[in-house]
Amino acid sequence: MTSIKPQPGLMDIALYVGGKSHIDGVANVIKLSSNENPFGPSPAAQEAVKRSVHELHRYPSTDHAELRTAIAEVHGLEADRIICGVGSDEIITLLCQAYAGPGTEVIHTEHGFAMYRISALAASATPVEVRERERVTDVDSILDACTEATRLVFIANPNNPTGTMIGMAEIERLAEGIPEQCLLVLDGAYAEYVEGYDGGARLVEMRDNVVMTRTFSKLYGLGGLRIGWGYAPREVIDVLMRIRGPFNLSTTQLAAAEAAVRDRAYAEKCRDENTRLRAWLAEALAEHGVPCDTSTANFVLARFGDTEEAEACDAYLQGQGLIVRKVGGYKLPNCLRISVGDEASCRRVAYCIGQFKAGAR
Ligand SMILES: *Cc1c(COP(=O)(O)O)cnc(C)c1O
């Protein structure tokens, strides 16, 4: 086997670790580790899933026309600039496959989403990490890190796991300043949580070097079904369509996503509830001496005094049946990322952190 070798970079990939969902010996856990919608998907999407069982002997559409039309209508976009994928993860993968490769660089930020590095390495490209400023994307650091070899710049806005975001003027400055051979990818996994923010869609339409990715896994509560999409210049869509699998999305995925995006009232209700509970949670934690940056997403990043305290709190919470996310892998070892759950879960996690800070172990 010694002469059979994988492509360069592949053995540098550390396996992605998802949020925990079980605690040994605890039956009714509250899972706040994967930024899932605590209310689940829209009832209309659930009905669409059930109806789809009657079509499972048929191959799904290859052009995703109905879903793209629905997304375009709801978000006010152009349907022929949309590409749908198996989660936004697939769009990220396709972008790296298409535009990165051996000898090229892919920029991501210090506390950026793990999939950017993984997908860059999977394409045998070199991931380049740039520092953030106090857990906020720093446009100047990114521009300083750009070279002739840079092909892609990934930023999540709002970012995961920090929850912070930068304004449109900064994003425009970034799009303007990157080298001409480089694409800027705006990961909008949490864009729906920000009222009045289009995730960068208008910028995509105005420029030829900006791509936006979106997902049904967060606000739409369909993480288990794996559906995402991208919005890009037509030239980029043309490239990505050549490499994506023709039947990448199943009949069930397509039907659920279409129903979910069309149920605007449900999406709005989930967003408003998240906004209300996120503010409540951040304030309750602050009262217990645990600060959070202002989050614009469906989680907060709770900062502890040091790594030891964060780990002790995580262990204490697990003992109470609560699962949150350790983010040491994101260079934030003194923090815990806590998804905004339903009201009872928010109260429970805030109460337990209060007990922990008061000396419970
Ligand atoms: C959750 C998340 C995604 C979504 O990934 P899917 O593959 O669509 O489930 C993308 N980017 C970021 C930053 C995320 O946190």
pLDDT over threshold 80, residue 356: yes
Task: Count the Cβ atoms, other than its own, within 10 Å of residue 7.
Answer: 12
pLDDT number for residue 106: 98
> Residue 43: pLDDT band by 50, 70, 90 thresholds?
very high
- Residue 85, ligand 1, Cβ within 6 A: no
pLDDT at 211: 98
**Chain-centroid distance, C-alpha 57:** 32
Query: Are β-strands 335-339 and 325-326 bridged in parallel, bridged antiparallel, or unpaired?
Result: antiparallel
Q: In the chain, what percentage of residues exceed pLDDT 70?
A: 100
| Euclidean distance between CA atoms 42 and 257, whole angstroms | 10
With a CB cutoff of 8 Å and minimum separation 6, the contacts of 235 are 208
Which residues make beta-bridge pairs with 229? 84, 214
Ligand 1 centroid distance, CA of 168 (Å):
21
- Which helix (H) or strand (E) covers residue 173, if one does? helix 168-177
Q: In Å, how far are 102, 103, 312, 316 from 324, measured between CA atoms? A: 37, 38, 12, 11
88 CA distance to ligand 1 centroid (A)?
6
CATH number of 10-40+265-360: 3.90.1150.10
Is the per-residue pLDDT at 214 higher than 70? yes
Q: Helix (H, G, I), strand (E, B), or coil: what is residue 186?
A: strand
pLDDT greater than 70 at residue 14: yes
Mean pLDDT of 160-186: 98
Spell out the long-range contacts of 97-100 with Cβ–Cβ below 8 A and sequence spacing 24 or more. Answer: 97/122, 97/123, 97/243, 98/236, 98/239, 98/240, 98/243, 99/151, 99/152, 99/183, 99/239, 100/125, 100/151, 100/152
Residue in the block written with tokens 């051996």: 102
Q: Is the pLDDT of residue 361 over 80?
A: no
User: Is 1's pLDDT higher than 80?
Assistant: no
The larger pLDDT score, comparing residue 257 to residue 14, is at 257
- Whether the pLDDT of residue 249 is over 90: the answer is yes
Q: What's the CATH number for 43-263? A: 3.40.640.10
Supply 67's token pair.
């879903």
One-character DSSP codes across 40-99:
-S-HHHHHHHHHHGGGTTSPPPSS-HHHHHHHHHHHT--GGGEEEESHHHHHHHHHHHHH
Query: For 78-110, what is each residue's pLDDT tens digit?
Result: 999 999 999 999 999 999 999 999 999 999 999
Tell the residue nearest (CA) to atom 11 of ligand 1: 189
Task: Report the range of poorest mean pLDDT among 3-12, 158-167, 274-283, 325-334.
Answer: 3-12
Q: What is the pLDDT of residues 230-248, one digit of tens each?
A: 999 999 999 999 999 999 9
Coil vs helix vs strand at 255: helix
Q: Which of 217, 227, 231, 253 to mutate to test the pocket of ligand 1 (most atoms within 8 A of CB)?
A: 217
Residue with tokens 């001409």: 180
**CA Rg, the chain, in Å?**
21
Looking from the CA of residue 223, the nearest atom of ligand 1 is 9
3 has pLDDT over 70 = yes
pLDDT tens string 111-169: 999 999 999 999 999 999 999 999 999 999 999 999 999 999 999 999 999 999 999 99
CATH 3.90.1150.10 in the chain is located at: 10-40+265-360
Q: Is the pLDDT of residue 281 over 70?
A: yes
